[in-house]
Structure 1
Amino acid sequence: MSDMEVQITDSQEPEVPAIFKKADCTVTLKFEDVVFRIKKQKGGFLGTRKNSITEERMILKGVTGVVSPGEMLAMLGPSGSGKTTLLTALGGRLGGHLGGTITYNGEPFSNSMKRNTGFVTQDDVLYPHLTVIETLVFTALLRLPNSLSREEKVMHAEAVITQLGLTCCKNSIIGGPLLRGVSGGERKRVSIGQEMLINPSLLFLDEPTSGLDSTTAQQIVSTLWELAEGGRTVVMTIHQPSSRLYYMFHKVLLLSEGNPLYFGNGVEALDYFSSIGYTNSVAMNPSDFLLDLANGVSSDNSEEDKLAVKQDLISAYKSKLADKLKAELNETSNQLSDGTRHKQFGRWCTTWGQQFSVLLHRGLKERRHESFSGMKIGQVLVVAFLSGLLWWQSSDHLQDQIGLLFFYSGFWGFFSLFQAIFTFPQERMMLTKERSSGMYRLSSYFMARSVGDLPMELVLPTIFVIITYWMGGLKSTLWNFLETLSVLLLSVMVTQGMGLAIGALVMNLKSATTLGSVIVLTFLLASGYYVQHVPAFIAWIKFISVSHYTYKLLLESQFKTKETYRCGTNTTCLIGDFPAIKMVGLDQTAISIVSLFLMLIGYRVIAYISLMRIGVPRWRC
């Protein structure tokens, strides 16, 4: 991947290829009587389903419209009016109780149409430590087909940067809440650029101007207007656009509690509402006036009349616009272009190996700042030296050395578990976004994530053992050292897998950390160090305890049954008879190793299966 880095940093500014100036094919989007319902459980004893009542709520109530190539449709409405739900349905990402008809050039949503569709979510889900060019290049390497060489994919990313006006910040990091990076408008353009890489004919955007100042919002919408001029069909939700933005929209859809109140040309909206008796008495932003109407507020009505205003607007829409709109839908040409109808796409854009390589490279670039942060390294070093001083040259004190080995098991059990628990909950939004785009297989992501974490997971325990092993006075032979280190590293990988499984199962940081703490503490208590005479009815816990097998193998790496220790002034005793060792035993080494390897595989299988329910791909190349 080093060649790619050279191309990213040293490539010249390319001329924007024609492919980005004009869409490959055109798409006419039609939706007729779109209805969406959700079912909610209400009541029940202590939140259970027993004696609960199932309520059905209608989110969309018969929405109709048509958007042609070269047009930009803006969906307006107050919060909760159903804008995002409708956008998600039109983008082919909404399941459940969806009714009505949605067609693309007269056809239902298909694999070919998925390949020609871009979807920009409201939240910009981007990696904060990657630069703008790195973000787009990695996306290009994953989303563009293998018919293009790697150099051509990089050139496509450069072309998108030029087209979206991101050249000045191409080498700046994205940034985040606690990390200074590019501006909000530039972040939004990066998100749009990720979808523009596939040169979509149909582009959906959810609140692209949310949280931006008026000037930046103007730049974003101007960019989208230019994309529409290239023959693309652009559909967006927008909450409260300025007057300048409003008059850039070719068509406007006004929603109120899931009901359509207006669909048509934006410049004709005020004339329509004036014709049914609703006129703005003062000069104001057209979108503000439309939102007031959607909320049931007119210039001369009271609070009690809001419901009546809404009902009047809904009735007016049905009597004056609905039939006219359906006639327009019937007249619209639905001929599917040859490029969309006949072009076939494979199941995935890239091979498994390419996905693994790109994801591994991207993960190492993004997480190197966090994995090898000064705080984590300092934490391990401080604990290592403190432990070495506390157990300084304790070779003559058998109980102390046993305590040091148990501390190895306990400390790294907690440390590696909690490092891993945060992995998937923190990446859930990114995983959902990218899997919904069909960027890669879940298996390639999972393997790249697991392999990418190994340096952090293995380097710090190795440093810890190197420091504490010699300071603590453990056996000085190379074999004993390597055996101790190997056992600890195996234990670390097992507890890492446990953390991945817990995080993937729960997907809530607070709940996951609580569950992880309970499990690790239970395993530590049952490991044989704190309680040597465990009651039979609960002794089974040790057989599933990572800490038990780790502690047992660490003891076996230092002590043998026939070795002796000084148990009195002039007497020696067998190490195998020492109470703390006898309870755990120094035999069945193979069983302990096999058990840890089974856990190593088992926990990761659980994590993988748990991730399969997140972000199931809905479109692919």
Structure 2
Amino acid sequence: MSLRAYVELAVLDDMTSMQFNHWSHSLSEAQTGCHRPGALPIALANNDTCLLGFYCPNSNNEHPPQMCPPTWQCAVLRANQGTCPYPQGALEPLICPGGSYCPPGGKLRIPCEAGTFCPQGSFEPIKCDTGAYCPWASAHQIPLLPLYVVIAIDFVLLCVLIAGLAYSKWRKRRRPKYSSVDMRLTEDDREALRGLNISPRYSVSIAEVSPPTTVPASPALLIPKSRARSISNASDIIDIDDCSQESAMQKFLIYLSRAIRTKELGLSFDFEGLSFETRQNLEILHNITGCIPRGTMTGIMGGSGAGKSTLVNALIRGKSSAGTLKINGVVKDMKQYKKLVGMVPQDDIVFPELTVRENILHSARMRLPSSWNDRAIQDYVDSLIACLSLTHVQNSLVGDARKPIISGGQRKRVSVGIELAAAPMVLFLDEPTSGLDATSAASIMRLLKAISRLGVTVIAIVHQPREDIFVAFDQLLLLAKGSQVYAGATEDVVPYFEDLGYRFPLRSNPADIMMDIITGNGKQYSSESEKFGNDPDLLIKFWYERGQFEKTNQRLSVAVGAPNNPKLSVSSMQSSLEHDQSLHETMKTRGASWYAQVYYCAKRALLQQVRNRTSLFFEIFVATLAGLVIGLSAYSSKGYLFSGIYHPPFTQMSSAVDYKSAPQLGLLSAMAIGLASSAPGVWVFGEEVLMFQRESASGHSKSAYYIGKVLSTLPRTTLAALHYTVMITILATPLISFRDMYAANLLYFYAIYGLSSVVSMLVKREDGPLLAVLLSLILGVLGGVAPPLSQVKEWHMEWFWRLSPGVWFTEAYWTKMVSPRAYLWDVELATQTIGFTLGGFGKDLALIFVIGTVYRVLAYVLLILFRKRRR
């Protein structure tokens, strides 16, 4: 190349470089409108378009809004679901920053006044809730009023707790006083007492029960003159040490006469050929025949597996595999009389959280005539407690085996008092002396003897009674291997066995010897060992073949029935039409109304929860802690839990989407609520199956009990949901209002409690809490977050997810946090991506409530069907 050509090329290069620099300088901010040097803008619209929620101060029709390439700092923010704090060019729209609102048109940016808040992208201020903290230029509100309410409630609960403890101590020191009910006898009372053959005046005779030696023949306490007879042994002595005063027994009798408007107080039973077989064809009872006259105390004795409890159940339920059962001389369904029947189980099934008085008072309110006012019921219970010798502990909690408060004998008295509070006409007791010391057992039986002398039929299963208890029975029924060995008067049982060749040593307990004989261990007492020996089958065969049943019944009629009282005979009298009608009238008046039963059951359950305050306060604490943890996890988001794609034409300016934060908050809330409430729900519903069965068997309304129990859980769930919601709204400050979030949380608490009630009916109580927690977590996972509901729809399994309250709960959160921002983001695209449905907040809450109710209905059905509960 020549030198000339080289020079010309160099000059050309210099000129090209100068032109490039000049052109680059011409593409500065003044030329392109972008702050980044050399950046070329992209037009967003053909005219001055500024969407709601955006700030467009410089654009106009001649210079429409445009988008500039972001700086690396802005690109990083957008990639991390943030927004750039400043526009990238003079004509680039900027989403209205939090704390300010940009009216339609986007030419103004106005800071929010105090009392309002403006989230990012607001075009108008949002009024804060009452009591919320909303200073000037606030981007979110902090609901402080609910926090103040929670603090006030907690302070009141603390004060109530302290006052309750102080009152409890004062009440225990205070001397109990009876209510001042006028006990003057009316003509109706006198007529009723005459019908019962009981005089309004009683002679008090206190005698110590001694072994059956020589006992003065004197009428026992409360035996009517028409029934007075010669007393030849200690079984006729009634010790009234259990009654604190004569007036208490007099009150008890008068109220009893008001409750039972019949001429005969008790019920009689005639049974012939009673047999019972299980579904596996195992015969438990075989050909049991006998009669139990009204107003007598009958003891049923036998070894383990002899069929004692089966016989009692057959009498109570009126069901057997074969044979006939007559009530007051007529074959009738025993269910007709369940309001007049009391059953004291072997185990002391009482409410440990209630006091002695509260247990008995509840039974009286539920089962006495509905026409009685509460003042009369209270006075009746006072007299009964005095007769049970429980006055000094009436305000003490009953407690349980893990934390005993009153003695075992006093617990047994409470169990008996619960049934006596209903003024029954017949009282069954399954081993009332089991687990008691000799003194307590004798005291219980002396009281039962006194009650039988009033006319109430008492039937008790006893196991190895002491001698004075044994001789207190009017008649005995001895069983061995499901068959009879003896049935007749107690005073004839020893002569009967002596006639068979058995001897009863002096200073021995006849009951112990007879138990040895009928259980096959009586050879040592038999002088004719080759005749019966240790084989109870021979005793059974002898009883049926030699006609001893007929002979013993004749003795019974003489022993029990007074010569001038023909009402007691070998078989019970046929019920007259008048007496039968009076029984039905009595049963119609028995029991509180359904609404009253719901009230009393709810009141009792609330009192139980207050007494079990550790569980209540722990649930509230866990709910508060859960709200604190979940709120802290979302605290850094500062309330911005959703980020979507802007509507056209600003779509290109969108940051990375955030479709998961809002539903994840719902998922975490569902799991937290499940952890906080599932275990307490099991303990509330699953501890009282045995008590429920006892009360329902006596005529209590099953639905009233369960509805009362459900209503009693509402205050604790309300408090727990309030504490949880307050903590999460203060820390997470989501866009959803406190009212809407509280409604959703409360209903989800309601659903989890329903689930826990189902669990409590299916498994053992020690396994229930763990299973309930596991199931609550599963319901939370079925909330449609992971996997997303859109993917579940592809599996055609949405119907299964929709069975869970968790998906409706999460959808409610999604609706309230996303729907208000539909003007700013394309929420329809977000909904299609996630799979939820928008705009159905009310429907979501309604379905959570429906599912929770279905759980409760299922639990109620299981409670009815499962008659025996594995413990």
TM-score normalised by structure 1 residue count:
0.84
Cross-structure match for 1:298:
522
- 2:48 is aligned to none
**Is residue 2:431 matched to residue 1:190?**
no
Task: Render the CA deviation track for 1:347-392: whole Å, top value 9, x for unaligned.
Answer: 7622222222222211211122336633323323333333334443
Provide the C-alpha distance between the structure 2 equivalents of 1:78 and 1:525, rounded to a whole number of angstroms. 55
Does residue 313 of structure 1 match 2:552?
no
Structure 1 residue matching 2:802: 3-state secondary structure = helix
Query: Which residue does the alignment assign to 1:387?
Result: 630
User: CA separation of 1:276/1:451 partners in 2, compared to 1, >3 Å: closer, same or farther?
Assistant: same
**Aligned mates of 1:202, 1:126 — CA distance in 2:** 20
- Displacement of 1:59 in angstroms is 1.3
Is 1:443 matched with 2:703?
yes
CA shift in 2, pair 1:200/1:339, >3 Å: farther
**Deviation at residue 284 of structure 1 after TM alignment:** 3.2
Matching of residue 86 in structure 1 with residue 345 in structure 2: no
Distance 1:365 1:339, change over 3 A: farther
Matched residue type, 1:542: W
Q: What's the RMSD between the two structures over aligned residues?
A: 3.6
Distance 1:551 1:304 in 2: 82
Q: Does 1:62 align with 2:287?
A: yes
Partner of 1:458: 718
The AA in structure 2 aligned to 1:324 is K
Q: Distance in 2 between matches of 1:580 and 1:407?
A: 22
Whole-angstrom distance in 2 between the partners of 1:242 and 1:13: 40
Paired residues of 1:280 and 1:299 also in contact (CA < 8 A)? no
Residue 406 of structure 1 corresponds to 667
Return the offset for 1:89: 2.0
How far residue 71 of structure 1 moved from its aligned partner, in angstroms, is 2.8
1:526 to 782, 791, 799: 782
Aligned counterpart in structure 1 of residue 248 of structure 2, from 11, 16, 27 = 16
Q: Is the 8 A contact 1:424 1:507 kept in 2?
A: no
CA contact (8 A) 1:139 1:194 kept: yes
Kindly report which structure 2 residues correspond to 1:155-554, keeping only aligned pairs within 5 A, or say none: 155-280=379-504, 284-300=508-524, 309-318=535-544, 319-325=546-552, 331-332=570-571, 334=573, 336=575, 340-343=579-582, 344=585, 345-346=587-588, 349-370=591-612, 373-395=616-638, 402-439=663-700, 441-475=701-735, 480-504=737-761, 506=762, 508-509=764-765, 516=772, 519-532=775-788, 533-534=791-792, 535-554=794-813
Structure 1 residue 97, shift from structure 2 partner:
2.1
Please name the residue that 1:602 is paired with.
854
Matches within 5 A, 1:588-599: 588-589=840-841, 591-599=843-851
- Say if 1:119 and 1:562 are closer, same or farther in 2 by CA, change over 3 A: closer
CA change 1:304–1:267 in 2 (3 A) is closer
Deviation at 1:454, TM superposition (A): 0.4
Distance in 1 (alpha carbons) for counterparts of 2:795 and 2:442: 72
Where structure 1 has 5 or more consecutive residues not aligned to the other structure, the ranges are: 41-54, 566-572, 617-621
Gaps of 5+ in 2: 1-167, 182-246, 258-263, 558-568, 643-659
Tell me the CA shift for residue 524 of structure 1. Answer: 3.1
Question: Which deviates more from structure 2 when the two are superposed, residues 545-554 or residues 339-348?
Answer: 339-348
Change in Cα spacing, 1:597 to 1:453, as seen in structure 2 (3 Å) is closer
One-letter identity of the residue aligned with 2:636:
Q
CA 549–486 in structure 1, closer or farther in 2 if over 3 Å, else same: same
Tell me: CA distance 1:179–1:526, structure 2 relative to 1, closer, same or farther (3 Å).
Answer: same
For 1:466, give the aligned amino acid: V
**1:132–1:169: 8 Å Cα contact kept in structure 2?**
yes
Residues in 2 aligned to 1:335 and 1:575: alpha-carbon distance in whole angstroms = 81
Tell me which residue corresponds to 2:63: none
Structure 2 residue matching 1:558: 3-state secondary structure? helix
For residue 356 of structure 2, what is the aligned residue in structure 1?
132
Report deviation, 1:120.
Answer: 1.4
Distance 1:600 1:347, change over 3 A: farther
Q: Which amino acid aligns with 2:360?
A: L
Q: Kindly indicate whether the alpha-carbon contact (under 8 Å) linking 2:306 and 2:481 is maintained by their aligned counterparts in 1.
A: yes
Identity %: 23
User: Helix, strand or coil for the counterpart of 2:588?
Assistant: coil
> Residue 371 of structure 2 contacts residue 589 of structure 2 at CA under 8 Å; is this kept in 1?
no
Deviates more, 1:275-284 or 1:537-546: 275-284
Match of 2:277 among 38, 49, 56: 38
1:538 aligned partner, one-letter code: M
User: Residue 555 in 1 paired to residue 782 in 2?
Assistant: no
Conservation of the 8 A alpha-carbon contact between 2:678 and 2:773: no
Q: Say if 1:203 and 1:233, in contact at 8 Å, map to a contact too.
A: yes
Asked if structure 2 preserves the Cα contact closer than 8 Å seen for 1:35 and 1:58, the reply is no
User: Which structure shows the bigger proportion of residues in helix conformation?
Assistant: 1
Residue identity opposite 1:33 in structure 2: E
Report the Cα offset of residue 517 of structure 1.
5.5
The 3 A distance-change label for structure 1 pair 483 and 60 is same
Amino acid in structure 1 at the alignment position of 2:301? L
CA contact (8 A) 2:486 2:549 kept: no
